[in-house]
Chain A
Amino acid sequence: MTEATGSWVGSRALDRRIVVVWTVQEAVGYGALALVVLAVDIGARLAGADLPGPPGLAAGLLAVVGGLAAWWLPRASYRHWRYQVADDALEVRHGVVRRIHSAIPYFRVQHIDVAQGPVERAVGLARLVVHTASAGTDATIPGIAAGDAEGLRRLILARTGHGDAV
């Protein structure tokens, strides 16, 4: 798998395997939607509704669009994703359409979750969710090698210091 990274200095990209995770997630989402549309389409036709076009046209179009999106979006998103474990704050840059640069000072961090979905587990990735006292804080780092996530969490927590942080 991945070698345990010694240093977190500098701006870093995500683990490349996150593209696989996102692609699967997008594909599953669009696939499920296409199936629902197909079921409604066929059901309506069986019930005697007079719909334009051959059966399955809408579902097919949706599948094509979904396929393109599932291919392109994860790759574009991966290209724009950068995070940096700076001296005093965690800095995250991401977003394809809407660009976001957010920064969370370490001493504001309340707690950090390491989470893993089924697809992430399959490819050996984890995501780090950083919580502050504000619900608005945007700080999820997806695509960290599962072996590294715990280390990064400890690194950030070691820098949080003590106090109420409110």
Chain B
Amino acid sequence: MRSEDPGPPTAPDLHAPAGPEIPGAPVEGGGPKRLHVLSPVFFAGRHVRQLWPLALLLAARRQWWLLALGALVLLAWSTLEWLRRTYALEGGALRLEEGVLARKLRAVPFDRIQQVDLVRKPLHRLLGVATLRVETAGGGSAAEVDLDVVTLPEARALRASLLRAKASLADAPGQGTATRPAGDPAGVAGAEVAAPPAERVLVRLRLGEVMLAGITGSRAAAALVVLGPLSQASDWFPGLSDWLFRRFDPEAVTPTTPPAFLAVAVLGVVVWLGLAAASSVVTDHGFTLARVGDDLVVRRGLLERREAVLPLSRLQVVRIEESLLRRLLGLASIRIQSAGRTGGHDHTASRLAIPVLQRTEVNRVLGELLPGAAPVLRLLAPPPAARRRAVTRSLRRTAVLLAVVALALLLLTSPGTAALSSAAVLVAAVLALAVAAGLAAYRNLGHAAGNGFLYARVGVAIRVTTVVPVAKAQSGSVRSSPFQRRSGLATLHVDIAGGGPAPRVYDEAEPTAERLLQVVLGRRV
């Protein structure tokens, strides 16, 4: 109920600082509650993050008293915010009321909740509190409600209640009304009685595996791509190296002999891989994927512990990714795509991913995520016309790139005949590589349909196998470019709820693509 009355909430005295609560105890009802007493500190911290240029300015001018006054005002304002901010689980929704001057009420119906996360930064862990993040369908900041902060037991109990309320709502249409009194708004009363379900760990990564994930993952590769051009920077800015040399003694710093060069190169690679491993440890330390009831729970993080919960029924697509390096090492990674994530503003893409996995484990985990989907069926190769197309496409792309580079070089330099002949050899080598890449792209293409699942594989260096439950497909289409039509080929697109790339079956024979569309529509399986 929205009230224009700016008075305090009904019974302020009852809202003493939340003490430790028994997990699983009823949190519904009991009227609106305040967040933890320490919340103003976190509010103030958030404001400071927005106002830091001003603070820096004041500090630079040594106006300390103004700075102190500002801090006091900020803390007072944050305290007011805390006083005026309440949450409640009422009427089948999570209701958040806030605002000092203008009152704002947000109500998130239980059945709209997509995901409930527990975020614990180092300060949170020190103080024994947590931020509860409730996400709804749709993207952007409007799709999130943050309760920052509540005590850890309170956060756990709230999350359990929200997810159970949601689950019992989702079951309601199928079970009919007989199982529950019609008046019960959210079925929470019944849900509270049920004991919290047991937890079963599906994947747990050791420290070494997390480091391996960093070294073999895209982080390391991306960094090497950045490092390459950077080493050329001194060529583009001749003044830069002069300046650097004046700063640091050139004799001591620049390696002049070949062994020294090699040592520096090896050292650079080692440092680089170390950094990749370290950053992987920071985000994924102690990675655990577990099944709790009908939910998937992911826990990870070294400094900032993250705990994400995804109801299995929201799972849309599972992607098995194998880069060239990981294939050589017998490794893979798995990405999970769920509904209600169109924004991708958070670390959403990697949040529900298994960073690294033995390839032999893939089928076991896939079977847990999508019952009936494992083992991955034998994939059918597309028709030979697709091979010609893959090679042509790769060659065309490379030729365009080569032409641009050649043109740029011709305009910027005036090469001699010797340079031209060596360039011709280089071009031939690059084109041969392009043909190899095209053939690899064709080899990696494949699809299969069966058991209510569609499997599609694509990729050159990184091979991605997408597993789509046919029951999750929103719609589908068969598309063909003029080039494809000339070879009798077409591509199947499957549209899936939520963000992320749409699963596709590339370059299949047109009748096959049409038949797969019928499978997607559920007309034939």
Contacts A88-B521, A166-B314; is A135 near B478 (CB within 8 Å)? no
Sample of 4 more A-B contacts, CB < 8 Å, known A136-B493, A136-B496 = A88-B523, A98-B479, A100-B477, A132-B474
Contacts A89-B521, A133-B339, A134-B495; is A101 near B478 (CB within 8 Å)? yes
Cβ of A25 within 8 Å of any chain B Cβ, yes or no, is no
- Give the shortest distance, in Å, between B340 (CB) and chain A (any CB): 8
**What is the CA–CA distance of A101 and B478 in the complex, to the nearest angstrom?**
5
Contact between A134 and B496 (Cβ–Cβ < 8 Å)?
yes
Contacts A133-B497, A166-B339; is A101 near B477 (CB within 8 Å)? yes
Question: Which of B170, B477, B480, B498 is within 8 Å of A164, CB to CB?
Answer: B170
Query: Which chain B residues lie closer than 8 Å to A62 at the CB level?
Result: none
Closest 10 CB pairs of A and B: A102-B477, A133-B497, A134-B495, A134-B474, A136-B495, A104-B475, A132-B474, A137-B475, A101-B478, A166-B339
Contact between B477 and A138 (Cβ–Cβ < 8 Å)?
yes
Contacts A136-B495, A164-B170; is A99 near B485 (CB within 8 Å)? yes
**What is the CA–CA distance of A101 and B475 in the complex, to the nearest angstrom?**
11
- B514's nearest neighbour on chain A, judged by CB, is A101
Contact between A105 and B521 (Cβ–Cβ < 8 Å)?
yes
Query: Which chain A residues lie closer than 8 Å to B498 at the CB level?
Result: 133-134
Query: Which chain B residues lie closer than 8 Å to A99 at the CB level?
Result: 479-480, 485
Question: Which of A102, A103, A166 is within 8 Å of B497, CB to CB?
Answer: A166
Flag B491-514 by CB within 8 Å of A: 1 or 0 each.
001011111001000000000001
Question: Which of A88, A98, A136 is within 8 Å of B480, CB to CB?
Answer: A98
11 A-B contacts (beta carbon < 8 Å)? A98-B479, A99-B480, A99-B485, A102-B493, A104-B474, A133-B339, A135-B495, A138-B475, A166-B137, A166-B339, A166-B340
Contact between A133 and B474 (Cβ–Cβ < 8 Å)?
yes
Contacts A133-B497, A134-B497; is A103 near B477 (CB within 8 Å)? yes
Flag A91-108 by CB within 8 Å of B: 1 or 0 each.
000010111111111001
Contacts A103-B521, A136-B495, A136-B502; is A162 near B475 (CB within 8 Å)? no
- A135's nearest neighbour on chain B, judged by CB, is B342
Cβ of B197 within 8 Å of any chain A Cβ, yes or no, is no
Q: Contact residue range for chain A?
A: 20 to 34
**What is the CA–CA distance of A63 and B495 in the complex, to the nearest angstrom?**
39
Contact between B173 and A103 (Cβ–Cβ < 8 Å)?
no
In chain B between 327 and 379, which residues have their CB closer than 8 angstroms to a CB of chain A? 339-340, 342
Max chain A C-beta neighbours (<10 A), residue from B477, B481, B514, B521: B477
Question: Which of B173, B342, B475, B499 is within 8 Å of A105, CB to CB?
Answer: B475
Cβ of A139 within 8 Å of any chain B Cβ, yes or no, is yes
Contact between A103 and B475 (Cβ–Cβ < 8 Å)?
yes
Query: Which chain B residues lie closer than 8 Å to A139 at the CB level?
Result: 475
- Give the shortest distance, in Å, between A73 (CB) and chain B (any CB): 15
Contact between A101 and B495 (Cβ–Cβ < 8 Å)?
no
**What is the CA–CA distance of A135 and B522 in the complex, to the nearest angstrom?**
20
Cβ of A163 within 8 Å of any chain B Cβ, yes or no, is yes
Question: Which of A89, A100, A108, A133 is within 8 Å of B478, CB to CB?
Answer: A100
Query: Which chain A residues lie closer than 8 Å to B495 at the CB level?
Result: 132, 134-138
In chain B between 303 and 338, which residues have their CB closer than 8 angstroms to a CB of chain A? 314
- Give the shortest distance, in Å, between A48 (CB) and chain B (any CB): 27
- Give the shortest distance, in Å, between A151 (CB) and chain B (any CB): 22
Query: Which chain B residues lie closer than 8 Å to A98 at the CB level?
Result: 479-482
Query: Which chain B residues lie closer than 8 Å to A137 at the CB level?
Result: 474-475, 495
Query: Which chain A residues lie closer than 8 Å to B493 at the CB level?
Result: 102, 136
**What is the CA–CA distance of A107 and B88 in the complex, to the nearest angstrom?**
34
- A162's nearest neighbour on chain B, judged by CB, is B173
- Give the shortest distance, in Å, between B407 (CB) and chain A (any CB): 22
Query: Which chain B residues lie closer than 8 Å to A138 at the CB level?
Result: 475, 477, 495
In chain B between 212 and 241, which residues have their CB closer than 8 angstroms to a CB of chain A? none
Flag A106-140 by CB within 8 Å of B: 1 or 0 each.
00100000000000000000000000111111110
**What is the CA–CA distance of A137 and B521 in the complex, to the nearest angstrom?**
13
- Give the shortest distance, in Å, between B27 (CB) and chain A (any CB): 25
Max chain A C-beta neighbours (<10 A), residue from B476, B520, B522: B476
- A98's nearest neighbour on chain B, judged by CB, is B481
Flag A56-95 by CB within 8 Å of B: 1 or 0 each.
0000000000000000000000000000000011000001
**What is the CA–CA distance of A138 and B502 in the complex, to the nearest angstrom?**
13
**What is the CA–CA distance of A159 and B40 in the complex, to the nearest angstrom?**
51
Flag B114-137 by CB within 8 Å of A: 1 or 0 each.
000000000000000000000001
Contact between A134 and B170 (Cβ–Cβ < 8 Å)?
no
**What is the CA–CA distance of A138 and B476 in the complex, to the nearest angstrom?**
9
**What is the CA–CA distance of A104 and B496 in the complex, to the nearest angstrom?**
12
